[in-house]
Amino acid sequence: MILHILITLLTIIIQVLAKNSTYQNPILPGFHPDPSCIFVPSKNNTYFCASSSFLVFPGIPIHASHDLQTFQLVSNALNRPEQLPALGTTKRATSGIWASTIRYREDEDVFYVFTTMVFDDLPKEDGGRFDCLVFRSRDPFDDSSWGVPTHFGFPGYDVSPYWEENGRLFVVGTYAWQVQQGIQIFELDLGTGEMGEARSLWNGTGGSAPEGPHVYKKDGWYYLLIAEGGTGAGHMVTMARARSLLGPYEGYEHNPVLTNGGPQAYFQNIGHADLFQDRRGEWWAVALSVRFGPDGSYPMGRETILTPVSWEENEWQVFGKVFGTMSGWEFDSESVVEQGMGLVVDADFFSCFENGYVLGPEFVYFRFPVEGNYGVSKEGHENSVQLISSKSNLTGSDGRSAEKEGQTFLARRQVHSYFDFKVDFDIDEMKNEEQEAGVSVFLDQLHHYDLGIVLLSNSTANSSELVPHFRVRGITTVPTFASPTLAVVRVPQDWRGQKLSLGITASNLTHYALSAAPVGNEAERIVIGWGNGLGLTWGFTGALLGAYATSNGREEGFSAYVSNWSYVGKEQVVGS
């Protein structure tokens, strides 16, 4: 009895002495879904995370951290078209790179990313729909270290490796969601890409789409962690365990181990988790989540959250509930990763694209960029990026196909609830009707709002005179939308011939405001139109903010020059 009291007292004292951390979710705000993270002591005690990128290129962003608080983009595993030419030809916005698993093999000193390129326009039962891939790197701080992937023929997705102590590699994955065959396992020879026969491991607790599996070994048990319920409202994390890797697996009686905190919670759709241990041996989980606006919109899409996990010997895990402001295991003191190619994930950004500037790894394109269309500081146009217009606008011929001559669009992720994004445009070389350059908040070809400067004929006169107009257009398949053309106004007479600054801000938690001003005269800024966040609440990706140039289907192209690219994060709304 006395001993028991003593132990209880001691536990309380230890807990009080432990300097628990407070931190904020999401740790990777904006379009960073399906997270997978590891901790690598031998690489200067660094955490590395990978997330999904779908049709955005460069893809598979790798973020690194020393303290689990500041995450810096250090490379993109998919950064050269020749690594995966097919990404440039895919149809349908839900195609491209789905979930990745990142792992490190100490004995080989190699980082692995297992992932799947999905051709989502093909029928569910078509084996060609899935192309499973393994990327390798010895230095994830450098794009060029990521090689051409090895392909293997598993006709499913969400592949995750598990190496036995003897080095044998097994891979868990899942089949297409309509074919309810649950989580699969098979042996894989990475040298040849040859696969052993796949066998069924666990079918989950009955939720739809059992997927996102990972295996962990602890205390002589194999723990299988999966996602169920689909990546929407019913999303959850469930566990099973077995004494042998191949099963039989027994589900935990108190599943799910992690899901949203009820319909009122700010963080929703929580699932697709991965587990790792920190420097002190404490466990953490990352998972995907969305932040619901007051109208149920979440244009930033699926983001990465972090939650502490208690995992006692021989016991099941206890996951912390997910909030905006979190308390968890003690953190290492704050320190930044002083390596790698990119910036802190939610850093403010400004560039005037001075001579010699190289577009960093945060800049993305929709599918592959057409080489030469994004020249920095061209002669006569110093301090700007030349956008050579594409014939296709951001919607394109059918809203779902790769356009032959590309879609000229340079963008970065939206990573704050409230932000201020502005770019200056020089449109002196614009000559023909329907030539257009502007800014867009863009999810995919069928979900975007654009504010363009466009040449239109003067409709009140019988002349061929072309007059620059501001035009807000948008497209969405979400049934909240009235008209594809939201506003057309003439550029004010005394602004003509000047450089113009176009901007996008979150005017409140449900709407984007698209605005314009003459460069250097912010006081004159006017809002041209609004876009509804619900219109971008669709699919698997999240909003990008960028600049485009198009001739809207006409042959004659032109160049627009953009500069003074500025993104300022104003506020991260995370609920109570």
Ligand X SMILES: *[C@@H]1O[C@H](CO)[C@@H](O)[C@H](O)[C@H]1NC(C)=O
Q: Which residue has the tokens 């697996």?
A: 249
Contact 434, 551 (CB under 8 A): yes
Told to check if 511 binds ligand X by CB under 6 A, we report yes
- To the nearest 10°, report the CA torsion of 420, 337, 363, 368: -150
Residue 523 DSSP one-character state: G
Helix (H) or strand (E) holding 17, with range, is helix 2-17
**Catalytic: which of 34, 303, 362, 434?**
34
CA distances from 111 to 33, 37, 134, 139, 518 (A): 20, 12, 10, 8, 48
Told to check if 351 binds ligand X by CB under 6 A, we report no
Pick from 239, 275, 451, 467: which binds ligand X (CB under 6 A)?
Answer: 467
Q: What angle do CA 98, 366, 139 make, to 5 degrees?
A: 60
Closest CA to 539 of 108, 232, 256, 275: 232
Stretch that binds ligand X, among 77-85, 201-209, 414-422, 538-546 (CB under 6 A): 201-209
Min. distance of Cβ 282 from ligand X in angstroms?
Answer: 7
Between 207 and 308, whose beta carbon lies closer to ligand X?
Answer: 308
Is 211 tagged catalytic? yes
Told to check if 11 binds ligand X by CB under 6 A, we report no
Distance CA 345, CA 350 (A): 14
Q: What angle do CA 437, 563, 76 make, to 5 degrees?
A: 90
Helix (H, G, I), strand (E, B) or coil at 517: strand
Total number of residues shown for the chain: 576
Between 314 and 335, whose beta carbon lies closer to ligand X?
Answer: 335
- To the nearest 10°, report the CA torsion of 18, 24, 30, 36: 10
Told to check if 458 binds ligand X by CB under 6 A, we report yes
Pick from 11, 20, 22, 521: which binds ligand X (CB under 6 A)?
Answer: 20
Is 34 tagged catalytic? yes
Told to check if 523 binds ligand X by CB under 6 A, we report no
End-to-end CA distance of the chain: 41
Contact 63, 81 (CB under 8 A): no
**Catalytic: which of 131, 143, 158, 211?**
211
Closest CA to 250 of 202, 310, 315: 202
**Contacts of ligand X in 356-415 (CB under 6 A):** 383-384, 393-395
The site string for ligand X over 65-104 (x = CB under 6 A, - otherwise) reads -x--------------------------------------
Contacts with ligand X by CB under 6 A: the residue count is 49
Pick from 270, 475, 528, 536: which binds ligand X (CB under 6 A)?
Answer: 475
The site string for ligand X over 418-447 (x = CB under 6 A, - otherwise) reads ------x-x---------------------
Told to check if 42 binds ligand X by CB under 6 A, we report no
Active-site amino acid positions = 34, 211
> Which residues here bind ligand X, judged by CB under 6 A?
15-16, 18, 20, 44, 66, 181-182, 200-203, 308, 310, 320, 328-329, 335-336, 338, 352, 383-384, 393-395, 424, 426, 458, 460-462, 467, 473, 475, 484, 490, 499, 507-508, 510-511, 519-520, 530, 552-553, 563-564
